[in-house]
Structure 1
């Protein structure tokens, strides 16, 4: 079976978040199931020079985008055994950042058209185009409308994966009508129309043959008004086509036994893990003391991630004997809150604003606990990485977090972390302090860590489910 992934980012070429990890790792796991995956991406200026210099141009064409006729190059490169096709247009993609520009609709409408126009240039058509998030939501719509009668296109099926329903690619109706050169019939309730505007995410949900999202619980949650981001009705209509498949992580990339970024390699040895904590304490200027519990956070600093709850409890929590290490960037108010905590408790708090892959790995390796009190979390990869690095997750019971972290039961000795339900600061503080109390009981703490070490974090089981989904969609 031939599957083409269409996405806006993928490791190891470009990354801003978990989407890149998924699109980079899943094709390798699918290959074990006999699925031949090609990944198509925009050719960003941020792609590492060694990879960009290795590309081969296989086609040059023009793409019609409304009244615009734009250059498009198709380039090919193989990285880590995965074939990548790059959509080359420097005007749209050779910029300082991947996202955040005023012409996002035009950039990714161009990308969607280019993906479909490119198929004629390939030796073999894909059986399935697997589209990821709003940036590719127009592809199923265009395939079912604009390209429906083009020879060779009719048998192509589409799968659309929702990685985060909050980001929908909503633009004015007039703008998308101009870019797509389409009539009023495409902007109805059953098509792209979204509360007077137009939604690329809705296009994918409406027109793809099958839908998936990144955990079983999130698949249920997004069909409710609380989590549905005004698309819950559409998702309920397509509930029979919606699969929840949990993400995995690349266990070769995230391996504390072979991680070049950390101080001391380890697997299950808490003594060696502790050496990584003292090394990080020294690196960040914290008091060096292996007995002090360290809580780590590597995250976007946004309300979705529960930082309002953290803000409520932080003054109280920092009175306890602990250290807090935070890596991330985001909302200015959250950054200011953390700076104030650092000012008051310079011996208990360490901050790094921005992203640093090496430091992120060292935080996972050093931290005893990993805090992730998200208000919603489609899947979450950080808790999986934390478990892989034997850092005990403290999470809210939502989305992929409840699907991957089993609450510790001191009576049965089962469980891999600590969880809480209601999104309140009281419940968060109680749960963090409960985790700290068990950290003070070495035998029970070792049991919790060992339980986490027995979990399967890889992609193989999920890849088998995607393979089953692909076979269902082509049948």
Structure 2
């Protein structure tokens, strides 16, 4: 069985979020299970020159983007045993950022057709194309509505993984003809139409043989209006082929016993190195150097989705009332960036904000922090809490999506639990939970037990990769795509 991952970003080439981590780790885990995998993605100018020098141009073709005929180079690189193909077109991909451009609809319409044309050009007859998020979702739709009618493509199936339903690729209805080359018969409610516009992700959902979300809880949440982002009706129609599989992390990258970014290595049996790393970050960032002061870290986008507005409401009170320190690493909305800069000024020995991103600093924060705060309004899966568990930075999270599936609240009576949780999206519930966590921090026997439970939780990809393999097997056999028909027959009788 051959699986082609079609993605807009992938570690180690480019990364803006958790999608890149998944695209980098999951193919390697599947390969260990005997699944033949490859990855195809845009050749961005942002990719490091060392990688570009290793790429070999293997073919070229022309791709239709509406009435346009655009050049498509296809380059190849083998890395860590995985075959990577890169779609080369500088007009679309020589940009300073991955997304957020005025012509993103055109860029990823091109990418979607380019992937399908590249398969034919390379004579690469894969069993399943595994697409990710809206940037690649139109591959599913174009295969079903157009390419699947050609002999070369007719046996190919598709799986779509939704990493964040909030981002859907919604563009004016003219996009359907002008960029996708489809007639306006596709602008109906059971196809691409979405409140008068065209919706790439909706098209992918409607066309895929299987749809996957990145945690079981998020799978159920998006069937409701609160989390469904106006697609809950479409997802409910397809819920018989909708599955939740929890993300993992690449344990070769995130490993406190061998991490090259941190000064002192440690594991669950010997936490001395973690305490030393705490002193390192206190010194590095100019905080009061005291091992007894609990350090809370956040590595996050500074947006409302991540619960930053909750923090804004109560952090001043917390820092006045508690002997604690907080360190924030990330970028986002100007309002929140400015707020953390102010808090740094107001509490110079208790608060630090690094507005930007640094991979080495993030590893140091996980390794040197006692707690990791992630109060998200919604969280499809979350990578931060998984890394925090691995490094023994005890998570404080809201019970939503993947946070609910991976972090369990500490119970005094039984000693069970690997973190601290709160249910309602409420600033004072969050504040109470932080205070509760801090109270246990000062009970060292209890605290060390919680840290060890966190560090020994399975957060790798092995179990999830087996679940993906099972999905791929069913899709290849045609079971997933037939389930809708079976359901209709059952309802008829």
Q: Which interval holds the TM-score relative to the shorter structure? A: over 0.9
Deviation at 1:100, TM superposition (A): 1.1
TM-score by length of 2: 0.96
Cα-to-partner distance string for 1:363-414 (whole Å, 9 max, x where unaligned): 0001000000000000001000000001100000000000000110011011
Partners in 2 of 1:309 and 1:166 — Cα distance?
20
The alignment partner of 1:180 has SS state of: coil
Aligned to 2:166: 166
Aligned to 2:21: 21
The alignment partner of 1:277 has SS state of: helix
Matched, 1:108 2:108: yes
Aligned residues of 2:297 and 2:365 also touching (Cα < 8 A): yes
Deviates more, 1:436-445 or 1:262-271: 262-271
Deviation at 1:203, TM superposition (A): 0.7
The alignment partner of 2:113 has SS state of: helix
Aligned to 1:306: 307
Aligned to 2:316: 315
Deviation at 1:145, TM superposition (A): 1.1
The alignment partner of 1:256 has SS state of: coil
Deviates more, 1:449-458 or 1:439-448: 449-458
Residue of 351, 354, 359 corresponding to 1:352: 354
Matched, 1:433 2:455: no
Aligned to 1:296: 297
Partners in 1 of 2:210 and 2:453 — Cα distance?
35
Once superposed, which parts of structure 1, at least 4 consecutive aligned residues long, lie more than 4 Å away?
none
Matched, 1:222 2:228: no
Deviation at 1:67, TM superposition (A): 0.9
Cα-to-partner distance string for 1:27-73 (whole Å, 9 max, x where unaligned): 01001211111000000011111111000111011111111111110
Aligned to 1:334: 336
Aligned to 2:132: 132
Residue of 382, 385, 391 corresponding to 2:384: 382
Aligned residues of 1:75 and 1:85 also touching (Cα < 8 A): yes
Residue pairs, 1:242-257, within 5 angstroms? 242-257=242-257
Partners in 2 of 1:153 and 1:134 — Cα distance?
21
Aligned to 2:44: 44
Residue pairs, 1:166-185, within 5 angstroms? 166-185=166-185
Deviates more, 1:337-346 or 1:218-227: 337-346
Partners in 2 of 1:122 and 1:459 — Cα distance?
30
Deviation at 1:148, TM superposition (A): 2.2
Partners in 1 of 2:386 and 2:177 — Cα distance?
42
Partners in 2 of 1:176 and 1:280 — Cα distance?
52
The alignment partner of 2:417 has SS state of: coil
Deviation at 1:271, TM superposition (A): 2.2
Aligned residues of 1:74 and 1:85 also touching (Cα < 8 A): yes
Partners in 1 of 2:455 and 2:280 — Cα distance?
22
Aligned residues of 1:368 and 1:392 also touching (Cα < 8 A): yes
Aligned to 1:276: 277
Partners in 1 of 2:458 and 2:193 — Cα distance?
41
Partners in 1 of 2:364 and 2:24 — Cα distance?
22
Q: Which runs of 5+ in 2 are unaligned?
A: 478-493
The alignment partner of 1:4 has SS state of: strand
Partners in 1 of 2:33 and 2:241 — Cα distance?
22
Partners in 1 of 2:417 and 2:145 — Cα distance?
49
Deviation at 1:176, TM superposition (A): 3.0
Aligned to 1:408: 410
Aligned residues of 1:105 and 1:176 also touching (Cα < 8 A): no
The alignment partner of 1:11 has SS state of: coil
Partners in 2 of 1:79 and 1:282 — Cα distance?
38
> Number of paired residues?
475
Deviates more, 1:143-152 or 1:20-29: 143-152
Cα-to-partner distance string for 1:230-279 (whole Å, 9 max, x where unaligned): 00000011111001000000011101111111110111223220100100
Partners in 2 of 1:414 and 1:200 — Cα distance?
43
Aligned residues of 2:176 and 2:184 also touching (Cα < 8 A): no
Residue pairs, 1:455-470, within 5 angstroms? 455-470=457-472
The alignment partner of 2:357 has SS state of: coil
Deviation at 1:124, TM superposition (A): 3.4
Partners in 1 of 2:13 and 2:390 — Cα distance?
23
Aligned to 1:473: 475
The alignment partner of 2:147 has SS state of: coil
Partners in 2 of 1:205 and 1:218 — Cα distance?
16
Residue pairs, 1:55-204, within 5 angstroms? 55-204=55-204
Deviation at 1:106, TM superposition (A): 0.4
Aligned residues of 1:63 and 1:69 also touching (Cα < 8 A): yes
Matched, 1:265 2:265: yes
Partners in 1 of 2:53 and 2:33 — Cα distance?
31
Aligned residues of 2:137 and 2:201 also touching (Cα < 8 A): yes
Aligned to 1:421: 423
Cα-to-partner distance string for 1:154-189 (whole Å, 9 max, x where unaligned): 100000000000000000001232111211210100
Partners in 1 of 2:148 and 2:383 — Cα distance?
37
Aligned to 1:398: 400
Deviation at 1:290, TM superposition (A): 1.0
Aligned to 2:489: none
Deviation at 1:123, TM superposition (A): 3.8
The alignment partner of 2:54 has SS state of: coil
Matched, 1:233 2:249: no
Q: Which runs of 5+ in 1 are unaligned?
A: none
